Amino acid sequence: MFKIIKEDKQTAARVGEFRTKSSIFSTPCFFPVATRGAIKGLSTKDLEEIGIEGILVNAYHLYLRPGIEVIKSCGGLHKFMGFNKTIITDSGGYQIFSLNNLRKLSDEGVTFQSYIDGKTIFLTPQDIIKAQIDIKTDIALPLDECVGGNSIAYKEALKAVERTIKWAKISKDYFDRNKTDGILFFAILQGSIFSDLRKMCLEEILKLKIDGLCIGGLSVGEEKNLRYNILSFICQLADKNYIRYFMGYGKPPEILEAIGLGVDLFDCVIPTRLGRTGTAFTDEGEIVIRNSPYIKDERPIEPNCNCYVCKNFSRAYIRHLINVGEMLGVMLLTYHNVYWYKKFIDEAKNAILEDRFLKFKKYFLSTYRETKNDN
Amino acid sequence: MFKIIKEDKQTAARVGEFRTKSSIFSTPCFFPVATRGAIKGLSTKDLEEIGIEGILVNAYHLYLRPGIEVIKSCGGLHKFMGFNKTIITDSGGYQIFSLNNLRKLSDEGVTFQSYIDGKTIFLTPQDIIKAQIDIKTDIALPLDECVGGNSIAYKEALKAVERTIKWAKISKDYFDRNKTDGILFFAILQGSIFSDLRKMCLEEILKLKIDGLCIGGLSVGEEKNLRYNILSFICQLADKNYIRYFMGYGKPPEILEAIGLGVDLFDCVIPTRLGRTGTAFTDEGEIVIRNSPYIKDERPIEPNCNCYVCKNFSRAYIRHLINVGEMLGVMLLTYHNVYWYKKFIDEAKNAILEDRFLKFKKYFLSTYRETKNDN
């Protein structure tokens, strides 16, 4: 599945190729997020135009609505969504655990209240794998327990790791005993900022003959230096032949940092989420297009961008659309932001291939300015 | 500008061709509505794919936001919006008069409070023409006074007609004294359901050497039989060489009726507005896609439709998107609805060309079912 094409000499960055039953994509790569089976503001035709290689969909949300049965009877998730590239389905562990007081965990599974109708739902790790097999995902993920932040106690993190390992075993066992038709199985690494927990978790899940490694429980509130330390530790420890997927990450400078530490794959709501609130990505950083400097700005969002939006529309027009609440504004900004993210990561990939990744990173960080108040 | 290609022998329907500085389109034709400079849920790329020949934009809304100066400095409305076909700009008479207690009329113009910041604004008929010239519209419309409904008093309607005529003259005079670079001028016919008022208004505005005739003040609450009577009266009375544009109309059976009475052009929020609330147009009528019968419906919205949406997505998927509030649902439904409307009117046009319009109308009405509760 994963083939390393090139390893950087100065950093842990690498270029690879990954094959699923639906497509082959090269890494580093980013997947936009289609939580409920759609990217907010983009059609699959847009994704195709942009050249998106894969998306992340949330199996937990689909379980609640429209229900797995509906998608199954419509021929699976690819057919349902009209998307023929790689789909990763997240188990929803992160979402369920965000419910806090509305859920109860046991080794057998998770009990929670549906946010739709308040109904109590009990899901086992097996249920969640079954759902992903039923909808014919490309990459299935097991239920995991995610704890996070700076303040996390070791004891709590240990308990979560133990449960995550246990559930990964149950899940993989269930997966192996069923007809999976080319579906791949990734396991999720937990352990917060504690290197011994990460090590333990890694060793256990690698025993399961998995197809890829998800790095979970990071970027959930911990300090950045702790994050990069533990990320570096993980990437050094993990067999290099596993694709490394950093879940739910990040801003462009953060992504470059993670690529340099050896991460291959990202999913990321940032280009779509910021698009909805009126922030655009440019080579010089993020700009809040709603703001007054852009009122008569005839330039495209990013003058060096070749996307449909930059070739056809001005900042002034997009600012107007966002300001009057026209959904086309969100559609155009999201299109550009996703295009820009892909282009940015493609450039990082090319830099690795051409032995100039560190130089690229340095130059990028010297010109890129994050917007402080981007809401 | 307007050339009649074919006249139906059994009805007053006709096929024509109209030329503006931006494009040539054949009639009967419908223009979707881009009130604030965007069709809700569609990009101009979508409009191009669908084959849309023109749109209606509201000059009054653009006057308030982003302001005429912004559009002017961005090279005009076509460049601002990235749309290169025909644009009609509505004067906003209908919108301003909908404000009721928030506006005051005099022969000199209209005073109203901005719905954005409450500021008092005074606009003359000249201001409104100037705005439309500044943004380089294709077809400019004068300020008019719209009164409507069954309960309208003759005296009130007379006063509105007199003011509409007065404003049309002032507007055309201002238009003629300025550099208009190929912009056309249509006048708006008022007079409610009173044939003598319609006749008087028509005679007066035709004296102004206008490029087309807008039929206003209908479909504003009056009974259908009164509407069709007065519409028939107008079309019989008006010189056949003027294009006849029925403003703000209508549902498919209503459009067929109006085509049969001699209307050439329609603008219509219905396909977009109903798309936003989850109603789809099919050859058999309107279906409320949010409803439970479609939960596992694998068929496209309309099996005979060749649009992007019908070729790629099921009713079940679109229902899911609408139900979870994903904007892609609105985008897809709106795309299909606008496509369907265009196809429907093209079919009516072809029927006229092939001397089978009445047969087509009869067949259409026998199979088409309006949804009663489409909200």
**Known active-site residue B138:** no
CA distance A243 to chain B (A): 31
The angle that helices A224-237 and A195-206 make with each other, rounded to 10 degrees, is 40
* A255 contact partners, CB below 8 Å, separation of at least 6: A28, A30, A249, A266, A268, A344, A345, A348
Q: Chain A contacts of B66, Cβ < 8 Å?
A: 295, 316, 319-320, 323-324
Q: Chain B contacts of A45, Cβ < 8 Å?
A: 308, 312
Exposed/middle/buried for residue A239 (C-beta within 10 Å: 0-12, 13-18, 19+):
exposed
Q: Is the dihedral of CA A235, A270, A368, A359 positive or negative?
A: positive
> Do A324 and B36 make contact, defined as CB atoms within 8 angstroms?
yes
Q: What percent of chain A has pLDDT over 70?
A: 98
pLDDT of A264 higher than 70 = yes
> Mutate which of A317, A319, A338 to disrupt the B interface (most B C-beta within 10 Å)?
A317
> Mutate which of A328, A332, A338 to disrupt the B interface (most B C-beta within 10 Å)?
A328
| Least CB–CB distance from B81: residue in A36, A75, A317 | A317
- Beta strand A54-58 pairing with A86-90: parallel
- What part of B 243-262 touches A (C-beta under 8 Å)? none
Note the ipTM here: 0.96
* Amino acid A374: pLDDT: 37
B84 Ramachandran zone, left/alpha/beta (phi>0; psi -120 to 50): alpha
The angle that helices A252-261 and A224-237 make with each other, rounded to 10 degrees, is 30
CA distance A290 to chain B (A): 12
Please tell me the distance from the alpha carbon of residue B364 to that of residue B370, in angstroms, as a whole number.
Answer: 12
A306 touches chain B (CB under 8 A): no
**Span A313-329, average pLDDT:** 97
* Amino acid A12: pLDDT: 98
* Amino acid A375: pLDDT: 33
- What part of B 322-351 touches A (C-beta under 8 Å)? 323-324, 326-332
Cis peptide before B253 (omega within 30 of 0): no
Q: For chain A, give every domain's residue range.
A: 2-268, 278-367
Hey, what amino acid is at B37?
G
Q: What is the pLDDT of residues A149-174, one digit of tens each?
A: 666 799 999 999 999 999 999 999 99
Q: Chain B contacts of A333, Cβ < 8 Å?
A: none
CA distance A317 to chain B (A): 6
> Do A330 and B327 make contact, defined as CB atoms within 8 angstroms?
yes
Which tokens go with B112?
A: 């109203």
DSSP strands (E only) in A237-303: 244-246, 265-268, 279-282, 285-288
* B106 contact partners, CB below 8 Å, separation of at least 6: none
**Known active-site residue A267:** yes
B237 touches chain A (CB under 8 A): no
B295 touches chain A (CB under 8 A): yes
| Least CB–CB distance from A326: residue in B38, B45, B82 | B38
Cα–Cα nearest to A244, from A267, A227, A264: A264
Give chain A's mean pLDDT: 95
**Span A51-66, average pLDDT:** 96
Which tokens go with B193?
A: 């359901």
For the domain made up of B33-237, give the CATH fold.
TIM Barrel (3.20.20)
Hey, what amino acid is at A130?
K
Q: What is the pLDDT of residues A179-223, one digit of tens each?
A: 999 999 999 999 999 999 999 999 999 999 999 999 999 999 899
Q: Is the dihedral of CA B161, B167, B173, B179 positive or negative?
A: negative
B315 near B303, Cβ under 8 Å? no
Per-residue confidence in pLDDT tens, chain B, 375 aa: 899 999 999 999 999 999 999 999 999 999 999 999 999 999 999 999 999 999 999 999 999 999 999 999 999 999 999 999 999 999 887 787 777 777 888 999 999 888 888 899 999 999 999 999 999 999 999 999 988 766 679 999 999 999 999 999 999 999 999 999 999 999 999 999 999 999 999 999 999 999 999 999 999 989 999 999 999 999 999 999 999 999 999 999 999 999 999 999 999 999 999 999 999 999 999 999 999 999 999 999 999 999 999 999 999 999 999 999 999 999 999 999 999 999 999 999 999 999 999 999 999 999 999 875 433
Catalytic residue among A138, A144, A211, A267: A267
DSSP 8-state code for residue B369: B
* B49 contact partners, CB below 8 Å, separation of at least 6: B308
CATH superfamily of A2-268: Queuine tRNA-ribosyltransferase-like (3.20.20.105)
pLDDT of A333 higher than 80 = yes
